[in-house]
A = this chain, B = another copy of it.
Amino acid sequence: MTDSTSASTSVPAPVSAPLEPSGSSGPGAATRFDGLHNPTFLQACMRQSTPYTPLWLMRQAGRYLPEYMATRSKAGSFMGLATNTDYATEVTLQPLERYPLDAAILFSDILTVPDAMGLGLSFAQGEGPRFAHPVRSEADVARLEVPDMAKLQYVFDAVSSIRRALRQDGKGRVPLIGFSGSPWTLACYMVEGKGSDDYRLVKTLMYSRPDLMHRMLAINADSVAAYLNAQIDAGAQAVMVFDSWGGVLADGAFQEFSLAYTARVLARLKRLGADGQVVPRIVFTKGGGQWLSDMQALDCDVLGLDWTVNLAQARALVGGTENTAGKALQGNIDPNVLFAPPAAIETEVAKVLQSFGTPYRGSGVGPTHIFNLGHGISQYTPPEHVAALVEAVHRLSRSMRG
């Protein structure tokens, strides 16, 4: 079996399938996800009922795991890990060996695309990412192009390899999520050259020369779309756009410089994987809670939420009702909860689940929740606390469904 024929080969349902009344046939074949041992994550993405609330954790393959640090030490560096198919596969699977998570996410970085554009990505020891050639002038912007996707083949190879590894027992254990940074978030790093406290350089460019910023964002959007489509071709079963820095924008500027280009990405994405299954799309804007009603218009299936968002209000605003359009919601516990003792973690898990309320339980589509952190897990997290979180989410969410 190859990636492209690993699951259902039935005729794909039309894109509108998730909105069909449940009726006699239930959701379309392309959204049945029955080629997996554990399809709960994909089902919840498509607003279908699941027996418990599925969960995965942003940055679940990361520095808090000693086995990750061991592999990284063999690889020599972060990019040494990310560009080596075997290592990338190994670390992607590590959290799944420890915890019964409901999805895997490709081990990579959001900045691979600008690296392929020639900006020279590196990760200095103990610091964040850095570009050797940031975009600072009109000439720098003029030089930008959608990169040759061949330069990112290491990412697509990792996707295929991880899918193979997940399918060792004949069926995929859990689905694999591919991802990219959003056009705006990439632009932040491309201009600043590294992380920033105030985004002064990128905002100076944006407010002074919006024409240049729009050109950069258009190139970024087309690059991200090509990149995610290639991940889908390689076997990614869901894709997520990380708008990590959308929340630093002013109201108005967010819609113009971030949201519009995330929409441009979504418009160019393949709706179905090579296996004929729908590939759910997730959009996560950190700090975007005030713009949920704007994001409702995005052509995506899931909205990721950080911990500042009230899930009950978000559900009422964008979650839809039975057999009406809406977004599945993903999130949103504060990663710092994981520093508290297990009993306190369970209390906070219960608050998040109760804030969303009982998810949809019928045979059509309705409001659903995918549990996650509101941001990436901290490197200082005790691994046994993650076990307590996962156990609490599964147990409490199952009991809520009564």
Contact = CB atoms under 8 A, between A and B. Distances in A.
Interface in A235-287: 247, 249-254, 287
Interface string A24-52: 00000000000000000000000000000
A387 interface: no
A64 to B, nearest CB: 12
Centre residue among A199, A247, A307 by max chain B CB count within 10 A: A307
Centre residue among A207, A340, A380 by max chain B CB count within 10 A: A207
A344 interface: yes
A309 B289 CA distance: 11
A219 to B, nearest CB: 22
A236 B219 CA distance: 53
A395 interface: no
A318 to B, nearest CB: 14
A308 B200 contact: no
Interface in A168-191: none
A292 to B, nearest CB: 9
Interface string A375-393: 0001010000000000000
A204 interface: yes
A290 interface: yes
A341 interface: yes
A297 B339 CA distance: 32
A39 to B, nearest CB: 30
A141 interface: no
Q: Count the copies.
A: 2
Nearest to A375: B198
A336 B309 CA distance: 26
B253 A207 contact: no
Interface in A146-166: none
Q: What's the interface size class on A, roughly?
A: 35 or more
Contacts of A339: 200, 203-204, 207-208
Nearest to A202: B336
A251 B308 contact: yes
Nearest to A305: B251
Interface string A187-223: 0000000000011100110011000000000000000
Given A198-B378, A339-B208, A344-B207, A355 B308 contact: no
A348 interface: yes
A57 to B, nearest CB: 16
Nearest to A246: B308
12 contacts: A198-B335, A198-B336, A198-B378, A200-B336, A200-B378, A203-B337, A207-B348, A247-B308, A251-B308, A251-B310, A251-B355, A290-B290
- What 7 A-B pairs are tightest by C-beta distance, nearest first? A203-B336, A207-B340, A250-B307, A204-B339, A251-B310, A250-B334, A208-B340
Interface of A: 198-200, 203-204, 207-208, 247, 249-254, 287, 289-290, 307-311, 332-337, 339-341, 344, 348, 351, 355, 374, 378, 380
